[in-house]
Structure 1
Amino acid sequence: MAEDPITEGDLAEQLAYYSQRAPHYDDWWLRRGVFDKGDAANSVWFREAGVALAALEAADLGADVLELAPGTGTWSVHLAPRAATLTLVDGSAEMLAHNPVTASPQVRTQIADLFTWDTEERFDSVVFTFWISHVPRERLASFFTRVASWLRPGGTVFFVDDAPVSSSEPHVAATAGQKMVRLLNDGTRATIVKNFYTADELVDAAVRAGITLQVQETGTLFQYGLGRKH
């Protein structure tokens, strides 16, 4: 058990932070504003992001795809053209309002708490990008169990997330245990959950849920994984 278990209040603050950040979220991914670290650093960012994207593009996602915490659609735009159905589930209506694929005919959206949401539907793949680090340690095992329950036999799991170096990003004010203090554009501080899981931790949780998972790094910036339900 983690020394500092995450409360429902902590999770509510995390969700509120992302809802407030929605209009500016893409600045981080596109290296704009305070995230623009110059041509050399930006080039490394986009090159390593491309490694993770290439892994996603090479994965067999099948026809019916579930994306958890899709946010503003950074990765949804790569999923929608490949899917017969793409189901997006996010806790923030504000984030989804900026997601360009929501109007596509094969895309369905749900606003729901990802820590309690469930469905009887089964999918060929489950994708979550920059989400696993926001899952509390004490909920990691149950999260993978739920992911496995949503997959058809032989279904695919894909994820990508930050490496620990992201703690030096300009919007990070402090880190302690499972928590990170972030700055919004107006200087407001908010505390979110931020865990940098090792490959072994993720593989172990996945295997216990019936998912064979391989976790890799792009170099210094990102961690990604590809798995299959037994």
Structure 2
Amino acid sequence: MRTFVNGKIIDLSPDGRREGCLVNSKETNGASYESVTDQQLQDQLTYYKERAPEYDNWWYRRGTFNQGDEANQIWFDEISTVKDAFKAEHFHGDFLELAAGTGTWSSLFLKEALILTIVDGSEEMLSHNPVVSEPNVRTIIADLFSWSPDQLYDSVAFTFWISHLPRERLASFFTMVSRCLKPGGKMFFIDDREVAGTRESHVVGTSGQTMVRKLNNGDHATIVKNFFGDKEIEQIAASVGIELHVHCTPKYFLYGIGSKTV
């Protein structure tokens, strides 16, 4: 079954769900990219350290991110949809959140966790995370490109992180996630969709795997920004023993819920 969304044909399953999320030409055309350097990854971390005090303005649609009542409501409604999908899966136990940042999702994860371990490379971002002082929260400051788990977890989650992974590191990241999970353990992620006309006010330009962003003080920084397709993510997860089902909200978000099968 097919329907039209924003002038494009979208395949639907018999119950009306989209069979695949729209992806940009980068993913569908199999374009090649220059690898992201270690220095570029360090620059990305520096950017988030500097952005920490203003990061939540994006999440809560404040200041330059305020797109008006109607657009903001769509944003918050779609967040609620994803949160409901997460809560319906009854995550539990020893819970690991990777790239926890300022904690826009940490409070929700803590409600499901016996012990919540949060990992991030930026002490500055974690200083704004509301759960770090909770007695059943363990905080680790570490580079996620080199960090290895010291235990197995019942649940693993990461939010708005994989779009900041170089394409050549996506498979190794999911390998690490698989190593973190107990057999049967669950994983969750949410990230941005790329949708025409929704570029944020802090985005100056894009090229290859990178994007130039602007801080409130006017400084510019280059970060990694990739938009992966749902099937691409599912296939990589499957290759490391994670059965992952990726979905998209109508406008803003890509999210996935899965479990380790081996």
Structure 2 residue 201 is matched with structure 1 residue 170: yes
2:248 matched residue in structure 1 = 217
Alignment partners' CA distance in 2, 1:55 and 1:32: 25
Residues 90 and 112, structure 2, Cα contact 8 Å, conserved in 1: no
2:77 matched residue in structure 1 = 47
Shift, 1:165, TM fit: 2.4
Shift, 1:2, TM fit: 4.4
Alignment map for 1:106-121 (pairs within 5 Å): 106-121=136-151
Alignment partners' CA distance in 2, 1:121 and 1:202: 25
Residues 86 and 107, structure 1, Cα contact 8 Å, conserved in 2: yes
Alignment partners' CA distance in 1, 2:229 and 2:223: 19
Alignment partners' CA distance in 2, 1:105 and 1:204: 38
Counterpart of 2:53 (choices 23, 40, 44) is 23
Structure 2 residue 103 is matched with structure 1 residue 81: no
Which structure: greater helix fraction?
1
Counterpart of 1:147 (choices 156, 168, 177) is 177
1:130 matched residue in structure 2 = 160
Residues 60 and 156, structure 1, Cα contact 8 Å, conserved in 2: no
Q: Give secondary structure in 2 for the equivalent of 1:168.
A: coil
Q: Give secondary structure in 2 for the equivalent of 1:16.
A: helix
Alignment partners' CA distance in 1, 2:40 and 2:232: 23
Match for 2:108: what amino acid? H
Q: How many residues align?
A: 230
Structure 2 residue 186 is matched with structure 1 residue 156: yes
% of aligned pairs identical? 53
Alignment partners' CA distance in 2, 1:199 and 1:184: 30
Using the size of structure 1 for normalisation, the TM-score is 0.98
Alignment partners' CA distance in 2, 1:57 and 1:126: 14
Match for 1:93: what amino acid? E
Shift, 1:148, TM fit: 0.3
Q: Give secondary structure in 2 for the equivalent of 1:165.
A: coil
1:67 matched residue in structure 2 = 97
Alignment partners' CA distance in 1, 2:76 and 2:113: 25
Summarize deviations over 1:18-60 as a string: whole Å, max 9, x none: 1100000000000000000110110111011111111111123
Q: Give secondary structure in 2 for the equivalent of 1:186.
A: coil
Residues 2 and 138, structure 1, Cα contact 8 Å, conserved in 2: no
What is the CA RMSD across the aligned residues, in angstroms?
1.2
Counterpart of 1:197 (choices 224, 228, 247) is 228
Summarize deviations over 1:178-200 as a string: whole Å, max 9, x none: 10111000111101111100001
Structure 1 gaps of 5+ residues are: none
Shift, 1:152, TM fit: 0.2
Summarize deviations over 1:124-150 as a string: whole Å, max 9, x none: 011000001011100111111110011
Alignment partners' CA distance in 1, 2:32 and 2:139: 33
Alignment partners' CA distance in 1, 2:101 and 2:165: 16
Residues 174 and 182, structure 1, Cα contact 8 Å, conserved in 2: yes
Using the size of structure 2 for normalisation, the TM-score is 0.86
Alignment partners' CA distance in 2, 1:56 and 1:11: 30
2:26 matched residue in structure 1 = none
- Name which one, 1 or 2, has greater alpha-carbon Rg: 2
Residues 213 and 228, structure 1, Cα contact 8 Å, conserved in 2: yes
Residues 178 and 194, structure 1, Cα contact 8 Å, conserved in 2: yes
Alignment partners' CA distance in 2, 1:187 and 1:59: 42
